[in-house]
Structure 1
């Protein structure tokens, strides 16, 4: 193979990165270090040292941490992964938790005269060493030095050097820092307090080093007031030796969902630096390649093994193990058997070296935390995309999320959901599928939010269909509970499960191609597999990030979002009157009732949002240039019109069913009006967002499309929101709030434009549209305002006229 040069580029994860101008943690001396200047090994690593042998030998001497680095490991590629291991309460608004990764970068230890430098390496850019462009790319992508330390001593046979590594972990080094620039600003962080920052532990394993260190920052506004003006956090730095025997990369294709790594090839024949992506995956090679070629199921040389955390409660372990090994069905599609294995944690006698921190062990960690989440991170070799290790994290309080959701979305249909003590079989099945979902991430699969739209909505009411196919074709979709099923739909499945897309994606990413000698050699075969499934919605991928495709939304079910949301709201209406009975416990208050009712309102908001996305929506079908047909198609006008009709009925009419006084009188005194106003205003803001209006206006100008015009939408919306005006009826407080929100929102486009958007909106039709709507509404109110005998309603109409005049006559 042609040797590649490794070139600098950003590998930062999240918001933390390594800057080329960043000062090193300790200045290096300019003069070469003579061997006679070195201390004796015993002078540095004294008899009091606490040592741990492994990849490096780590030594604690008093309060200093020394690395004894074998000379053989100089210039070797290592992955430095920075994670948060402990955070103060409320840090990041509760969205930054223990286990969160803050950076991931490749480093090399390099000997320079009497010093050792840690350099940051990137594999994003590359060029063939023999190419004329090689020197230019090398010169323009210089590797930065993250840390430098002088050599203190050498071991007896000069096969390793000793450096003081304390400065890397006790000083503030941006590239391994746990506080992002955004949070530094939010908490008004001033500086690191070195007197309260220290190294807590260091452990060495055969393939990795793990260092935990406490960093304490002075902050004017820490997340909790009782933190004495400081933020202390525990960071974990993992340094992992990358494989010498590199896995052959596999080129990514945006038509199949995978986590990817960006690459740039400066030797491309294209008239530019050729950008491409490779997928992230475990290295699976069949033990018997000839049998594999014959189509037999073959075990991999190195299967993927997950151990359960010793802290995992015994009763949940079978469900966790099932969730892990569920993926074997998908790997069998790729020709492997027993490709993924779940194991109980070994005892000291069975494996005295077992540690969740050891990179040789992938672990499903059970974390005692109030966080309601689970995550499936992994550690990847950026040179090839090979996943080296992963730790699935299950936070204990995630059980709370699922018991609540099961009650809210299935309580109307399923008697087993009508308690907060969800039966073990049901909650266990939910946990199993959550673990399977997170393992999917750790195998390389991102969310596929488009999967759910492949199934007809009414099919989710069928026992036969749901038991065979689940709720969506992919467990990587967000479709947790079957809210489409209605009372009387017997024996349907309520919990998601693995589907046909998952098998397809795993086969595409993991099937071993023994005849291919390079990633490019595989491309024709991979393309053929995609084209064989083209046009079948079961095998389509969409990540849901655009916000414009109604078929690619989180938590949505079925191909008809209006119908699915109607089913979901019908169930909520049956649940609300029963919540007091279902959540009450003798001798206790109504905290659970308050929590479940609040979450029910969030789900109502989600159902409404699913429908809103149809308005001005665009279907996306991922294709390449060799495939016929359009990638983007506007949602048909009839569907958009039906969506607005639904919104007028369910979102912009006062939801009296949510105002159950028997329930509300137990949890609050006056918040109901504000809650409904917030929910309705949010739906209205979503419907009238700038990008949606721009798409609708553009669709009207597209030849061959019968569009649902933005004027039609505004007319339909106005008639719904202001139905009392047109029916000469009095308004209630809920509706008056919504009508004020409508006027204020339209007025904001006219007079309160954000500076960053001024130019774009001023040059679009949105300003003219909203000014015209306000003038039309003012005319209608002026002619009709006195047709009611309700004084407060008349005052309200006058107030709206004043607001409209203020917007139109006093534009900024």
Structure 2
């Protein structure tokens, strides 16, 4: 008993075990957590802690969908990497879901749906395909069903995928530096239907490329600003409009597993803004709410006025669709954020080099409704048009200081067209690369400057670019934005617009059929003019010849190094480069459009006529002649190597003579460009195919290759002196042989093409042996090259010619 009492006393005197140490501390109330923080109300209320550098988000709505958009507010400045100021990122439909102490920001998978009144059917599809959790958060405070989360980890993450972009560009391995990143309160704001956040994100890493260092002060550490938008989804009063491949719009699509078996699984709708008439019964009416675009305040004059004017052309198209004052363009208010989803914005964006401009949008993934149109216009593109004009005339005249006013006029004319073009994308319109064959029927084409010659060989810039919206654009806006009273009227009205397009002869071909080098659509091309590619080639070569003949020191201002003449010369020398591609599409070409089955209409998918194909081949061969490829003598004597402080860059030809003007290198690159299109394996496969399908009127592949070989050999025979013209003819022949060898050894192309190339290679060897040039250095080289390849094809190593200087976006 005494021992038991002693034990009791000892236990009493010992400290109690820390039984509560492992228990989670009670979650504070929201009032307790935010007692010293200022609340900002809006779509999603938040608190910002200056002391902690954190942002706390208040959540009281669960499983309620909204849009999450991430953007890049301040960019890198490199066109090649493509991380631009005010660049839009992903648009996602997300919702907050609470699971115990965690809050998940979850993204819906809207590519697969069941649009059905049966909840079980909809759930079966939702459960069949994965969803994504964008981010997870811990609850830091709670009051009832309302919680507070620390949103900072999401805001300080690489939401825009910068590190992945840099890795893909082989620029190095970078990651977010937490201690060098912070919220950016100045651009963090709240509004009733959208909440906007921004942060400075610093990346550190080990660079392996040169592009980051060319634009950032330090290529091991650089900072960007990322923007995050939480946006209320539009109401359900918007009616999606069916996509038709002839309509000229971008489609948005999803697989609907609730569709009947006899209907398409994939549902397609056009992307467009919401626009309704105040008076639907009126032929012309004011809109319920106009579409308003805002121009970046950073655009200088006279650029600003040109951009405003070009963008405003679209009101002509909306007027044709029955609206009055439906489309406006204004200057962005001083206090407005260009990434605020409430503003459609035309941004003026700077990069270290010229590059593309873009028209993108924030679109409701559920319906295709465009919520925010967003244009990025590269500021240096206007200088390229100025440069093109500068090379065509004595731009600085006798006084050498004042540029001819036509240079700026042409550049501003292009800006108007460019502004209209990119805004068109944000209205939902796709490219129409056949519009140039329809008398410039659309600003959605890529135009080459249409400069003409007067009778006394003076350059006329007055028709360089379009001056208003085109007929195709008006018809396309009618398709997308005409307000119809009901579904039946809409179906009839849309069919009527498409039928009217047929009657007007408006043709439409977009990117997939126009951009590939081996494209077969002769009417779809980038950077061309007119309905006859061969005639336009003749016109351009004449224009080019005059410009080269007159080229001189007056093309640059007083005080400019003479070596700068080369920069002005390049676009003149290569004036025909895009027309080469246009003419090549006639060879092995097919006429087609995006036709659909309609009553009484027979599809017409037919090859380009044999006569036109032969004309096209002959015309392209003229671009391989020394006469076309050589520079005039007086011009060659003008241009020295780059002056001190000036260097060679990507806008100039890559030289093989040590760095100065390289007339032979220029000829080689230009000739190889033509040969690339003449000998594209897809094109050659279609030549063989058309002969097999349509018979002897069509040129055979062997005859086609023989025609090329004979012309090139004829140029060698006609220029036997050991001079400039002789070397140009021989270098073309060497490039032709290299192309044939690569075709013969290519195991991924049509067997008929590889066989024909090998046959032509063997015939060419025989011709060289029997020719007068057999014992020349060029003849011996070609024989050795062919013999080596025939003896052991695996030993052949392609000889790559230097690339052409940067081209697209030419004239922009």
Distance 1:406 1:437, change over 3 A: farther
Q: Find the partner of 1:509 among 480, 484, 487.
A: 480
Q: Give the Cα separation in 1 of the matches to 2:254 and 2:307.
A: 36
Whether the 8 Å CA contact 1:750–1:811 is kept in 2: the answer is no
Counterpart position of 1:650: 623
Task: Please give the TM-score of this superposition, normalised by the length of structure 1.
Answer: 0.83
What does residue 402 of structure 1 align with? 385
State the partner residue of 2:505.
537
- Per the alignment, residue 493 of structure 1 pairs with 463
1:440 deviates by 1.0
Instruction: Note the 1:403-802 alignment, pairs <5 A.
Output: 403-408=386-391, 419=403, 422=406, 425-455=409-439, 472-483=440-451, 487=455, 493-496=463-466, 497-516=468-487, 522-534=490-502, 536-543=504-511, 544-546=514-516, 547-590=519-562, 592-626=564-598, 628-656=601-629, 658-662=631-635, 665-668=638-641, 669-703=660-694, 706-727=697-718, 729-730=720-721, 732-751=726-745, 753=746, 758=747, 760-761=748-749, 764-785=751-772, 794-802=776-784
Q: Which residue of 2 aligns with 1:458?
A: none
After superposition, the C-alpha distances for 1:586-633 in whole angstroms (9 at most, x for unaligned) are 222246533222233443321222212221222222211226333532
Report the equivalent of 1:104.
91
Change (3 A) 1:211 1:473: same
CA 1:809–1:514: 2 relative to 1, 3 Å: same
Cα distance in 1, alignment partners of residues 526 and 447 from structure 2: 7
Distance of 1:371 and 1:336 partners within structure 2 = 40
Query: 2:792 maps to what in 1?
Result: 810
Separation in structure 1 between the aligned mates of residue 684 and residue 589 of structure 2, nearest angstrom: 10
Task: Provide the C-alpha distance between the structure 2 equivalents of 1:545 and 1:220, rounded to a whole number of angstroms.
Answer: 33
Q: Provide the secondary structure at the position in 2 that maps to 1:227.
A: coil
Q: Which residue of structure 1 lines up, in the alignment, with residue 33 of structure 2?
A: 44
**Pairing 1:204–2:174 present:** no
- Equivalents in 1 of 2:612, 2:437: separation in Å? 15
1:725–1:402 Cα change, 3 Å:
closer
> After superposition, what is the alpha-carbon deviation per residue over 1:758-806, rounded to whole angstroms, capped at 9, x for unaligned?
2x43x6212211111011011111111358xxx7xx1211110111111
Matched position secondary structure for 1:118: strand
Asked if the contact 2:442–2:472 (Cα under 8 Å) also holds between the matched residues in 1, the reply is yes
CA distance in 2, matches of 1:356, 1:300: 24
When residues 367 and 795 of structure 1 are mapped into structure 2, their CA distance, relative to the original with a 3 A threshold, is closer
Indicate the residue corresponding to 1:388 in structure 2: 371
Q: Is the 8 A contact 2:433 2:508 kept in 1?
A: no
Q: Distance in 2 between matches of 1:144 and 1:273?
A: 27
Note the alpha carbon deviations across 1:687-722, whole angstroms, 9 max, x for none: 111111111111111147831221221121111111
Question: Is contact 2:292–2:329 with CA below 8 Å preserved after alignment?
Answer: yes
The structure with the largest alpha-carbon Rg is: 2
- Residue 215 of structure 1 deviates from its aligned partner by 4.0
Inter-CA distance 777–655: structure 2 relative to 1 (3 Å threshold): same
Report the Cα distance in structure 2 between the residues aligned to 1:660 and 1:726, rounded to whole angstroms: 22
Contact kept? 1:473, 1:501, Cα under 8 Å: yes
Shift in CA distance, 580/724, structure 1 to aligned 2, threshold 3 Å: closer
Work out the CA distance in 2 between the residues paired with 1:707 and 1:50: 79
Question: Could you tell me the TM-score, scaled by structure 2's length?
Answer: 0.83
1:705-756 superposed Cα distances (whole Å, 9 cap, x missing partner):
83122122112111111114555834622222211111111112234x3xxx
Deviation at 1:218, TM superposition (A): 1.4
Structure 2 counterpart of 1:76: 64
Cα distance in structure 1, aligned partners of 2:393 and 2:40? 53
Task: Give me the whole-angstrom Cα distance separating, in 1, the residues matched to 2:146 and 2:528.
Answer: 58
C-alpha distance in 1, partners of 2:113/2:501?
Answer: 34
After the TM superposition, which of the residue ranges 375-384 and 556-565 deviates more from structure 2? Answer: 375-384
1:321 aligns to 2:308 (yes or no): yes
Q: Quote the Cα distance in structure 2 between the aligned partners of 1:450 and 1:132.
A: 47
d(CA) in 1 for partners of 2:422, 2:329: 14
Contact kept, 8 Å, 1:410 with 1:481, in 2: the verdict is: no
- Residues of 1 paired with 2:490 and 2:25: CA distance? 56
- 1:137 and 2:125 aligned: yes
1:184-212: per-residue Cα shift (whole Å, max 9, x none)?
46123154433334433433333322323
Measure how far apart 1:487 and its partner are: 4.9
- Contact in 1 for aligned 2:110/2:365 (Cα 8 Å): yes
Partner of 2:374: helix, strand, or coil?
strand
Query: What whole-Å deviation, never above 9, does each CA across 1:639-665 have from its counterpart, x for those lacking one?
Result: 111111112212343535535543564
* Contact 2:451-2:460 within 8 A present in 1 as well: no
Question: Structure 1 residues 778, 657: closer, same or farther in 2, change over 3 A?
Answer: closer
Deviates more, 1:378-387 or 1:120-129: 120-129
3-state DSSP class of the match of 2:576?
helix
Select between 137-146 and 197-206 the one with higher mean Cα deviation.
Answer: 197-206
CA distance in 1, matches of 2:305, 2:473: 22
In the alignment, which residue of structure 1 is the partner of 2:273?
282
C-alpha distance 302-145 of structure 1, shift in aligned 2 (>3 A): same
Of the structure 1 ranges 178-187 and 107-116, higher mean CA displacement relative to structure 2 is found in 178-187
- CA–CA distance in structure 2, aligned partners of residues 473 and 705 of structure 1: 37
Which of residues 230, 244, 249 is equivalent to 1:253?
244
Tell me if the contact between 2:72 and 2:86 (Cα under 8 Å) persists in the aligned partners: yes
CA displacement, residues 438-495 of structure 1 (integer Å, 9 cap, x when unaligned): 111111111100111124xxxxxxxxxxxxxxxx111111114214565569895222
Q: Does 1:164 align with 2:150?
A: yes
2:7 is matched with: none
Q: Is the 8 A contact 1:77 1:107 kept in 2?
A: yes
How far 1:426 moved relative to its partner?
4.5
* Correspondence 1:354 to 2:322: no
Q: Distance in 2 between matches of 1:504 and 1:272?
A: 28
What does residue 26 of structure 1 align with?
none
Unaligned runs of 5+ residues in structure 1 are 1-33, 348-352, 456-471
Alpha-carbon distance, 1:312 to partner: 2.9
Name the counterpart of 1:6.
Answer: none
On the 8 A contact 2:475/2:501 being kept in 1, the answer is no
* 1:524–1:479 distance in 2 versus 1, CA, 3 Å: same
> How big is the shift at 1:144?
1.7
CA distance in 1, matches of 2:32, 2:392: 68
Q: CA offset at residue 388 of structure 1?
A: 0.7
CA-atom RMSD, angstroms? 3.1
Q: Can you list the C-alpha shifts for 1:151-176, whole angstroms capped at 9, x where unaligned?
A: 21246xx6853210122133456xx4
Find the residue that maps to 1:37 and give its secondary structure.
coil
Relative distance call for 1:482 and 1:808 in structure 2 (3 A) is same
